[in-house]
Every structure is written in C-alpha cells, then in structure tokens.
Amino acid sequence: MEKKKGQVTIFIIIGILIIVLGILIYAFYPQIKTTFGFEADNPSAFIQECLEEKIVNDLDMLSLQGGSLEPEHYILYENEKVEYLCYTNEYYKTCVVQQPMLKNHIEAEIKESIQERVTECFDNLEKNYLGKNYGVELREGGVEIELLPKRVIVTSNRSLILTKDGTEIYDSFEVIVHNNIYELVSVANSILKWETNLGDSETTTYMNYYHDLKVEKKKQTDGSTVYILTDRNNGNKFQFASRSIAWPPGYGTDNIVTTSE
C-alpha cells in the first residue's frame, strides 16, 4: 500500500515538472511560441509579437556599440566595443567624422539584422493561418526602418490576403517599438559637431536643455572620449566614442599614434 502511495507521489511530481518545463519553454523561446502556440487572432499582432524582441535586442546592442552591430573601429570600454563616430589618430588635430549619417546607418543596421527574422515570422504566420484552414496569399515586399521621436517603426511591405468566410487584405505590416534612440542620436550628432570643431563638448549644456537626459563624458588615457547618453525616465542608453584634439604625454614627439589597431 505504502509502495503504491510512493509511486503516485512520484507521478505527481513528474507531472508538475513537465507542466513547469512546458511553461518555461513557452515563456522563454519565442520561436517555439510562434510556431506552436501563438494565437494569431490578428496578423498585425502576430508580426508585432514575432519581431519586437529581435528589434529591441538589436536596439540595445546598437545603443551600447555606437550604432553598429559589429563595430569595425572601436575602443573597448567596460567590455563593450564602442565605435568611434569621429576619429583622428594624430595629436592636436580635430577628428574626421566616421559616421556622418548615424540615423540612416542605424536604420540600415536594423534592416540587415532583421531580414531573416522577418521571413521566419511571415512563414510562421502563413503556416498558422493555413493550419486554421484559411486561404493564404502572401506577396513579397521590402522592409523599411524609421527612427522617429520616441519610437522605431519597422514597416514590412509584404501584403497578405486571407480568405475563409470572407476576405481580409493587409497591404503592409507595421511594428512599433517604443525607444528614445532618435532623441539620443540627435544629441550624439550635436556632440559630434562640437568634437569636430573644438575637440570637446560641454555635457551640462545638454542636461540643461533636456531635463531627463544624463550625459557622461569619460576621457581615456589615449585621448579618446567615451560619451554615454542616458534617458533618465526609461534607461535608454546610447554610447559612442570620439578622438579629437588629443593631448600626448609630454610633447608627443611621436606624432602619429596607433590606437586599437
């Protein structure tokens, strides 16, 4: 009798473990979630849900790395590769702008990074509706990214026609991610203008203009400066590096220097 009771207890424990495991997989693996479980009541919501996490992750990474997912020319700051947006390898000289179209560059980086995921999401969307006996007609289209005040909009120009009892037509899909990268990039551009002209910038000016903005300036030993811009309300960050009018140790007789190269 006691043996039987013990077996029942084990089965209950195993059952609970399976349920917990199932919940964890469902919660932490969005790909599995979209393939098996996500209820596509609305194709727009499906695409938003499917793409949002990828875009948020990309934005986080771009923000810490000066606007590039794989920085080519960077300074290592607190284990992050922070890209130089303005740089000179010489002493006493103003920097050459390396990324003059920062906003467009970030948009292009996101576009390239999410291409695969966009295809995956639309494939899953199609499967999902086919599984529900819908007639699905999906037409190819490009992806556009736009950084805007307080948000990032990803527009997929794929069109979708669903037919079952009636017909539903979707010309394009918009994914909106709330993020302040547009504002932070604008401030970064303004700082870069100071860096190109004077080799420095005054952080308090920006904090006086924008009450919720925190601007940190960290001068490095090699003459580089890492700027960290933080929105105090939501913690959104953007950091980048510049090297302009660097001062050498002593007179700096070795005029041409190499840094991180």
Partner 1 sequence: MFLGIFLIGIVSAIGEVSYCCEKTIGGAWCQNALEEQCSIEIDPFTNTPYKKVPASCEATSYCKLGTCISEGDCMENTPERRCDKELGGYWEGKDADEIPQCKLGCCLIGDQAAFVTQTRCKKLSAVYGLQTNFRTDLTNELVCIASTMSDVKGACVYEEDFSKTCQFITKKECSELNAGNGTEFYEGVLCSAETLGTDCGPSKETTCVDGRDEVFFTDSCGNLANIYDSSKINDKEYWTNVYGGGESCNPFSSNANSVSCGNCDYYLGSTCKDYKLAGKKATYGNNICKDLSCKYEGENYEHGETWCADSNGVSKSLPGSRYFRLVCYNGEVSVEPCADFRQETCIQSDIDGFKTAACRVNMWQDCSAQEEEKDCENIDRRDCEWKEGKCVPSNAPGFNFWETGGDAESICSIASRTCVIKYEKKLGGDKECVENCECLDASWEERQNEVCISVGDCGEKPNYLGYKGF
Q: Give residues in contact with partner 1 (CB under 8 A).
A: 72-73, 84, 86-92, 94-101, 103-105, 108, 148-149, 189, 192-193, 196-197, 203-204, 207-209, 211, 214, 216-221, 223, 232, 246-256, 258-261
- Contact status, residue 172 vs residue 149, Cβ threshold 8 Å: no
The smaller minimum CB distance to partner 1, of residues 139 and 193, is found at: 193
Cα separation, 258 vs 6, in Å, equals: 71
The smaller minimum CB distance to partner 1, of residues 172 and 259, is found at: 259
The smaller minimum CB distance to partner 1, of residues 131 and 249, is found at: 249
Q: How far is CA 160 from CA 115, 129, 237, in A?
A: 18, 11, 36
* Residue 79 beta carbon to partner 1: minimum distance, rounded to whole angstroms: 19
Secondary structure class of 242 (helix, strand, coil): strand
The smaller minimum CB distance to partner 1, of residues 126 and 200, is found at: 200
The smaller minimum CB distance to partner 1, of residues 184 and 246, is found at: 246
Cα separation, 253 vs 203, in Å, equals: 31
Q: How far is CA 92 from CA 86, 88, 115, 206, in A?
A: 14, 9, 43, 25
* Residue 133 beta carbon to partner 1: minimum distance, rounded to whole angstroms: 41
* Residue 249 beta carbon to partner 1: minimum distance, rounded to whole angstroms: 4
* Residue 122 beta carbon to partner 1: minimum distance, rounded to whole angstroms: 25
User: DSSP letters along 74-114, please?
Assistant: EEEETTEEEEEEEE-SBBS-PPEES-TTHHHHHHHHHHHHH
* Residue 184 beta carbon to partner 1: minimum distance, rounded to whole angstroms: 14
